[in-house]
A and B are shown apart, each in its own frame.
Chain A
Amino acid sequence: MDDLFFFIIAKYNYWAAIVLLFIGLFGMIVRNNLMKKIIGMVIFQTAILLFIVSIGAKRGATVPILKFSPDKQPMLDAATYANPLPHVLILTAIVVGVAVLGVALALLQKIQRVHGTIEEDEILEDMRK
């Protein structure tokens, strides 16, 4: 029991991401309301972003800007810096996510205007007519 507890606690960031991932996937696939599908999609994307960004964290690390010692020598101690790359990647991925969300909402608005509803089953019924 203790082993399992530590197994979960030691990697809690991964577990959080996985739980969010499945909540998002559930929303996207099972939900009937298209708005809820979009919300699921955002949760799903955010889970992945959290997963990748959390690996850049390091205990006691500082921002990756080169520090100088009092006698103007650069202190090249990689262990004291946090890895900036995951943050930069995720910044780009956030922008992509926002763009997808924008397009999805615009489409949803159009769907609502054409079919008069955003419930999937009602749309399908409307299209059969």
Chain B
Amino acid sequence: MMDHAPALMIVVPVFASLVLTLIGPLGQRAAYGLLILSIAGSLAAALVTLVQVVQTGQAVYYRMGDWMPPMGIELVIDHLSAGVLVLICACALLTAIYSMHTARQDNPDRLNHYYALFALLVAGLLGMTATGDVFNLYVLLEISALSSYGLLARGKGKAYYATFRYLIMGTIGASFYLLGVGYIYIMTGSLNMADLSEILRRPELEESVSVRIGFTLIILGVWIKMALFPLHAWLPNAYSRAGTTTACLIAPLMTKVSVYVMLRIMFTVFCVDYIFQQIAWSRLVIYLASAAAVLGMITALSQRDLRKMLTYIIVAEIGYLTGGAWLANTAGYTGAVYHILADGLMTLCLFMAVGAVIYRTGQSTAAAMQGLFQRMPVTAGVLLVAAASVVGVPPTCGFFSKWYLLQGAVKAGEWVFAAALIIAGLVAAILFFRLLERAFFGRLADAVTEKKSKKPHGTARKIRIQEAPLTMLLPLVFTGAALFGLGIYTNEVVQYLIRWSVPAGI
């Protein structure tokens, strides 16, 4: 059982999605429990693998069907992927618990089909993270992309067109990736990542134009998938028009896993010397990343719709991650990997809090925040924590990732990126102050009218506390606590996980 944990982690949600498709309308109630059970199973398997990796200090290799690599497909779970796997499972489990009311609201019929897609998406993301084969990665990339199209299109109305645009862009991205893999395969004759990295170190391949084009195509494909500025145009509409549960699931995970794929391609398949000496795009990529961070945050500031605001924050965070990865030093790399974990939790927390507000008020504009602290004190408190983390206030985890990224930027002498980090943080501060000011001091609309009418005895009506249901509140509070937890245990995370995954040579 323990030996098969890496495979079970992926197989269990796939199997669950099959069962969920087949149980039919009678199993609507069972669907919720089944989904939670399957993802909890994945989480257990991911944790077992994480403990094993940390204890032995070595990667876990799992050979599918006992076929030896490089011919067979293998799953490789090292320090980098183990952390991301646990993040995916944890986010998915929290969203699954959170979905009890919202998923039913968004999908009055065929809840089991919705949950089947949910499980399939989780399986695809886990597979992308665990696989050690570049073609297998393409297939799993498409599995998760296809299920995300299905989930996003359940948002009704305007969501269809937004999803269609995402489908076209996503297919271009995945096809570029496949074309790049084709180039690399022609030059090397291999698809296994470990095998590829050995072959690609040969001097005649290091200078080959074909390999360079292959790398360019793969990275372009991944950039489209992770919505790096200026390839981000598909993201805001697709995510902000989706249902609440869908947004909570897809927003934190899809882009983060794509960033993870970029790190894999850059540092596992290709090597540091190749990326930073042969390719040498660092300057350009860091400018793009800086532009993404600043422009993403400023665009977020100009949005009236709460969820659209959050989607532009994702675009900005992708800028941080990309910049950190291309800084070519240990601090930048550590910051980028740590920020994958931190930003996954932050985005989840923000989307969950806003989802709870929308669930209770029925509005998604900034006006919904009016008097939030009186009406939904817990939700507002967690929102405050998440906002502090995005801005970068210690001891939340957002501070530490920014600290590492800033250190990396200073060490590499990339002052543009350092400035972009600080400016983006300040803009985020303005953005959240504006929202939270409304939440703290804004009067409720009905309370104001009450005062104006000046009833005798001055009976200002007591504002009723209307929190979201407990199934929404508990995951929300837990995520908020996790932001502190990850921040407080930064040293441990860096020491036991990230330090081990730093590629040789940077």
Contact = CB atoms under 8 A, between A and B. Distances in A.
Q: Do A and B come from one complex?
A: yes
B142 interface: yes
Interface string A84-115: 00100100110010011001100110110011
Given A52-B182, A111-B160, A127-B158, A103 B175 contact: no
Given A127-B158, A127-B161, A100 B167 contact: yes
B162 to A, nearest CB: 9
Contacts of A28: 168, 172
Contacts of B172: 25, 28, 44
A96 to B, nearest CB: 5
Contacts of A48: 175, 178-179, 182
Interface residues of B, number: 25
Greatest chain A CB density within 10 A among B146, B161, B172, B179 is at: B161
B274 interface: no
Nearest to A28: B168
Contact of A41 (B149, B171, B179, B191): B171
Contacts of A103: 146, 149-150, 167
B157 A107 contact: no
A82 interface: no
A23 interface: no
Interface string B115-140: 00000000000000000000100110
Given A52-B185, A96-B139, A107 B179 contact: no
A50 B369 CA distance: 54
Given A45-B171, A96-B139, A107 B153 contact: yes
Contacts of A37: 168
Interface in A21-67: 21, 25, 28, 34, 37, 41, 44-45, 48, 51-52, 55
A4 to B, nearest CB: 19
Contacts of B164: 34, 104, 107-108, 111
Contacts of A89: 135, 191
Contacts of B157: 114
A100 B174 CA distance: 11
B290 interface: no
Contacts of A100: 142, 146, 167, 171
A93 B168 contact: no
B99 interface: no
Contacts of B139: 92-93, 96
B439 to A, nearest CB: 30
Contact of A51 (B142, B149, B161, B182): B182
A37 B166 CA distance: 13
Contacts of A21: 179
Contacts of B163: 107
A123 B150 contact: no
B186 interface: yes
Contacts of A115: 161
Nearest to B237: A127
A41 B166 CA distance: 13
A127 B162 CA distance: 11
Nearest to A88: B135
A110 B175 contact: no
Contacts of A86: 185
A9 B139 CA distance: 33
Contact of A45 (B146, B149, B175): B175
A38 B153 CA distance: 17
B168 A107 contact: no
A111 B167 contact: no
A44 B178 CA distance: 12
Nearest to A41: B171
Contact of A104 (B138, B167, B191): B167
Nearest to A40: B168
A96 B142 contact: yes
Interface string B167-197: 1100110010011001001100001000000
B171 A107 contact: no
B398 to A, nearest CB: 35
A92 B134 CA distance: 13
A42 to B, nearest CB: 10
B225 to A, nearest CB: 14
Contacts of A99: 142, 146
A103 B160 CA distance: 11
Contacts of A34: 164
A120 B164 CA distance: 11
A21 B178 CA distance: 13
Contacts of B149: 103, 107
Contacts of A93: 138-139, 178
Interface in B180-230: 182, 185-186, 191
28 contacts: A37-B168, A41-B171, A44-B172, A44-B175, A45-B171, A45-B175, A48-B179, A48-B182, A52-B182, A55-B182, A55-B185, A55-B186, A86-B185, A89-B135, A92-B135, A92-B139, A93-B138, A96-B139, A99-B142, A100-B167, A100-B171, A103-B150, A104-B164, A107-B167, A108-B164, A111-B161, A123-B161, A127-B161
Interface of A: 21, 25, 28, 34, 37, 41, 44-45, 48, 51-52, 55, 86, 89, 92-93, 96, 99-100, 103-104, 107-108, 110-111, 114-115, 123, 127
Interface of B: 135, 138-139, 142, 146, 149-150, 153, 157-158, 160-161, 163-164, 167-168, 171-172, 175, 178-179, 182, 185-186, 191
Given A52-B178, A114-B160, 10 more contacts: A28-B168, A41-B168, A44-B175, A55-B185, A92-B139, A93-B139, A99-B142, A107-B153, A110-B160, A111-B164
Pairs of residues from A and B, 9 with the lowest C-beta to C-beta distance, nearest first: A52-B182, A110-B160, A96-B142, A111-B160, A48-B179, A107-B164, A103-B149, A41-B171, A48-B178
